[in-house]
Chains A and B, each alone.
Chain A
Amino acid sequence: MKEDTIVQTGVWSAGPGCHGGCGVKLHIKDGKVVKVEGDEDHPWSQGRECPRLLALTQYMYHPDRVLHPLKRIGRRGEGKWERISWDEAYDTIEQKFKDIRDKFGAESVIFCQGTGRDIGGPISLLAYAYGSPNWTSLGLSAVSCYTPRLLAMYATFGNYAVLDASQFLEKRYNDPQWKVPKCIIVWAQNPPPTCPDGFFGHWVVDCMKRGSELIVVDPRTTWMASRAKMHLQIRPGTDGALALGMLNVIINEGLYDKEFVDKWTYGFDELKKRVQEYQPEKVAEITWIPKEKIAEAARYYASSKPAAIQWGIPIDANPQGDVVATAITHLWCITGNLDVPGGNVIARSSHGVVPYPFTHDEVKELYGDELFMKLSDRRIGAQRYPAVKNFRAWTQPDVVLEQIESGHPYPVKAAWIQTSNPIACMALDSKRHYNALKKLDFIVVVDLFQTPTSMALADIFLPAATFPEKESLRTWWSPLEVTTKAVEVGECKSDWEINLELARRLSAKPIPHKTVKELLDSRLKVAGKSFDEVVAKGGWEMEKEGPSVPYKRWEKGQLRRDGKPGFNTPTGKVELWSKFYEQCGLDPLPYYEEPATSPVSTPELAKEYPLILDTGRRSPVFFHSEHRQIPWLRELDPDPTVEISPKTAVEVGVADGEWVYVENQKGKVKARARIRPTVPPWMVMIAHGWWLPETEGREPHLFGIWEYNVNNLLEMGHQSSSGFGGGNYKSNLCRISKIED
């Protein structure tokens, strides 16, 4: 191991937790990381770093970090563990998994991931090697994180797109090809606190400084909303109505790009007819946004050239979240902002290299058509939802929970849980998930710290590495970038290393790669490079030409397999009327659906619980349920909070900083009141993912999840007709009361 040196490397959690691809210089002394500095030459982050990355040394060398494999020796939840060797851990898992496969079939093991780390690569490798189609984000209702938006984009134009902040160009903002978006709609997102969906949040700030005007769609006044030209303070769960209302104005007033629409879209007349149902008056009633503002926002967006939309996870969590995303996708398509400089630019894995598959086509390419097709039929949720069978290779998590409980159509016997802490974080109805998972015969958790999930459920705990302890590869979306191993900590291993070893032991077909580097080299082959070559170049490379480089690729024939101009859809056009949705037996046009629980749909319930309960606001110092034990970070965001407006606070008799109960028909949790005029009086916003690592971990306390985790109050089962989207994280009802001493 090198000593007293600086290692230049690319970031992908564990460490900061997120999906950012920052470039850093790790200062190493005596085999330990002693300091993290930004790499000014790196095009992604340009020397900047976030608090979570700057606190990395406290994360890597935290006294509570688990440094060697453990096996449970007491009852589940008793907190009794024994240190074991990696050989014993691998042997035990191999034996158990083979027994289950023999008796029940490979599909009886579910492979569960959260978000964070480079997990999609290693976990799909292991699941497919073992032969299970059940790669899942267990507990994430309706996979309501990016997948519904990806489905919408795929169905509409056959690719994905992101706000163009020049991230595909090496010279970034100085590249003459790039244009500043004149208008950016920041829709249901607060970009600065985290780097959502692999997008550096402060790129939007970079654009603001260069002249971009903002329209912010958010029920709260975020920092960006307070700097915006227009703030549309929307009622949670009604984004679909707003998008359709804006389409109505843009189409009826002829503000769309007629040339693009005529030449490159399919189904415009049908869309035009559909949006007549969403006049601004009606949309104003639904969304609680004044009708003049809706029309003004639509006109400003459509008349600004170029304009871009930066959207967030609440879109996915709307009722029929994928359909809402479709309507928003149509906005940028009909205004001619698709794949143009400063618009919503098509995003593809850099150099065509796939470490983390984002499409079913990529999954097929990695693991073979035949295996993919064979497994897809057995995937949980595939029979009920054609989109689950035919898109992205994820299970439907709401159905997974039902199936664990019912054992039908086949039993779930074991869970491999990696990069995930579902019962403290994304799983709705935490107790229901806890009870269901307790029934399983065998559970492996791969993590860095003991969590409520590992404490309650793990039979074997495998200690995972942070990014400076591993080799990895990132192409989401640009540049192509490698993570170099700089140090070792305890006996921790990377997810790639763990899963490659087990895949080798469990695979029916021999896996040729003996080391992670060999595996990464095989993935890099399509780019004609090796891992070491990329390291030697400084750890990253921006693609100069080819189908992953913008702009206007539909004209150049770079989007379709047959090389013809057009889009990667059945009609070769942007499908405003979707053939894919039609084939899935779904409405091919966008529409609006009212939240299942709201002042409008459940007025009786709203009498008892008069406030809209919104969750999931981002903290700049935490990634979801992570980092609560990191002193420099916890100091800055010490308690689970609920944001309440001053008016509401007076009505319920609560002062800033006091502890309150947030209560609904499912129960109550505690939070500290944060009274701010940035929240409207008709709603509260409660922080998610809270557990207290400094408190008792053993049952029944489990680090306080039953007291502080807001997802105890929410329920599964609100998925879209497609199966993807609709997880109800955002539109529920509650009341607040002060906790008397």
Chain B
Amino acid sequence: MKGVEMAKNALLIEYEYCTGCHTCEVACKQEHNFPVGKCGIKLNEIITEGSNKVRIDYLPFPTEFCDLCAARTKIGEKPACVKHCQASIMWHGSIPELAKLMEKKPRSVIFAPRAAFDISPTV
């Protein structure tokens, strides 16, 4: 429809339940056959110390090489990381859809990597 922009797709990650299992990274590598050193998603570990409690959070970050698995989503498949995530904490969808879902998910984040905007990779 002219004048109406297609909603952009993104990833919702509910990091409250991300266990840091590295599944997303290896799923991405298998899908794209990336060599060692290159990946479309990278897991981060964040350790926070309170007065007498330590908290561990894990957060996967889609890198410059994330193409939101265009080849998979075109044929109706979920992105490789979303499908295989062992904690089932990743969703792929349009930003408005994901934002709605996010309202029920404390400790979550929406990532719109460059591929969502059809921008070329810089590395």
- A635 at the binding interface (Cβ < 8 Å): yes
Assess whether B1 is interfacial by the CB under 8 Å rule.
Answer: no
> Size class of A's contact patch?
35 or more
Q: Point out the residue from B20, B35, B37, B85 that lies within 8 Å of A48, measured CB to CB.
A: B85
- Least Cβ–Cβ distance between B75 and chain A, in angstroms: 13
**Tally of A-B Cβ pairs under 8 angstroms:** 93
Which residues of B, 1-50, contact A by the 8 Å Cβ criterion? 17, 19-23, 25-27, 29-31, 35-37, 47, 49
Assess the A226–B56 pair: CB atoms within 8 A: yes
List the A side residues contacting B84 at CB < 8 Å. Answer: 38, 47-49, 54
Bound CA span A741–B3, Å: 66
Chain B min CB distance to A370 (Å): 46
Q: Does A411 contact B (CB under 8 A)?
A: no
- B100 CB-CB contact with A under 8 Å: no
Name the residue of chain B whose CB is nearest to the CB of A35. Answer: B30
Q: Which B50-89 residues have a C-beta within 8 angstroms of A?
A: 53-56, 58, 83-88
When the two chains form the complex, which single residue of B19, B22, B49, B88 contacts A677, counting CB atoms closer than 8 Å?
A: B49
Question: How long is the Cα–Cα vector from A206 to B54 in the complex, in angstroms?
Answer: 23
Which A581-626 residues sit within 8 Å CB-CB of chain B? 620-621
CB distance from B119 to the nearest CB of A (A): 27
Report the separation of the CA atoms of residues A556 and B30 in the bound assembly, to the nearest whole angstrom. Answer: 49
> A223 at the A/B interface (Cβ < 8 Å)?
yes
Tell whether A202 is near chain B: CB-to-CB under 8 Å.
yes
- In the complex, residue of chain B having the shortest beta-carbon distance to the beta carbon of A222: B56
Binary contact readout A708-721 vs B (1 if CB under 8 angstroms, 0 otherwise): 00000000000000
Q: Which residues of B contact A209 (CB under 8 A)?
A: 17
Known: A48-B85, A51-B21, A202-B87. A633 touches B30 (CB 8 A): no
Taking CB atoms, residues of chain B closer than 8 Å to A38 are 83-84
Complex Cα distance A202/B36, Å? Answer: 27
Question: Which B residues are CB-close (under 8 A) to A678?
Answer: 47, 54, 56
Closest chain-B Cβ to A58's Cβ sits at a distance in Å of 9
In the complex, chain A residues 605-656 whose Cβ is within 8 Å of any chain B Cβ = 620-621, 631-633, 635-636
In the bound complex, residues from chain B placing their C-beta under 8 Å from that of A193 are: 19, 21
CB distance from A1 to the nearest CB of B (A): 22
User: Nearest Cβ distance between residue B9 and chain A, in whole angstroms?
Assistant: 20
Complexed CA–CA distance, A636 and B25 (Å): 9
Q: Is A180 an interface residue (CB 8 A)?
A: no
In the complex, what residues of A have CB within 8 A of residue B56's CB?
221-223, 226, 678
Instruction: Report yes or no: A49 in contact with B23, Cβ–Cβ below 8 A.
Output: yes
Partner of B37, one of A37, A50, A221, A635: A635
Give chain A interface residues in 411-464, CB to chain B under 8 Å. Answer: none
Q: How far is the CA of A677 from the CA of B52 in the complex (A)?
A: 11
* In the complex, A192 has a CB within 8 A of chain B: yes
Chain A minimum-CB-distance residue to B17: A205
Contact partner, B47, options A205, A633, A676, Cβ 8 Å: A676
Tell me whether B17 and A631 are in contact (CB under 8 A): no
| Contact A54-B30, Cβ < 8 Å, known A38-B83, A205-B19 | yes
A48 touches B25 (CB 8 A): no
A38 vs B86: C-alpha distance in the bound complex, in angstroms? 11
A676 to B31 alpha-carbon distance, docked (Å):
33
Interfacial chain B residues near A676, Cβ < 8 Å: 47
8 more CB-based (< 8 A) A-B contacts, given A57-B30, A202-B19, A226-B56: A35-B30, A49-B23, A50-B21, A50-B23, A192-B21, A223-B56, A632-B30, A633-B26
22 contacting pairs across A/B (C-beta < 8 A): A35-B31, A37-B83, A47-B84, A48-B84, A48-B85, A48-B86, A49-B27, A50-B23, A50-B86, A54-B29, A54-B30, A55-B26, A193-B19, A193-B21, A202-B87, A223-B56, A226-B54, A226-B55, A226-B56, A635-B37, A636-B26, A678-B54
Q: Which 3 A-B pairs have the closest CB atoms?
A: A192-B19, A51-B26, A54-B26
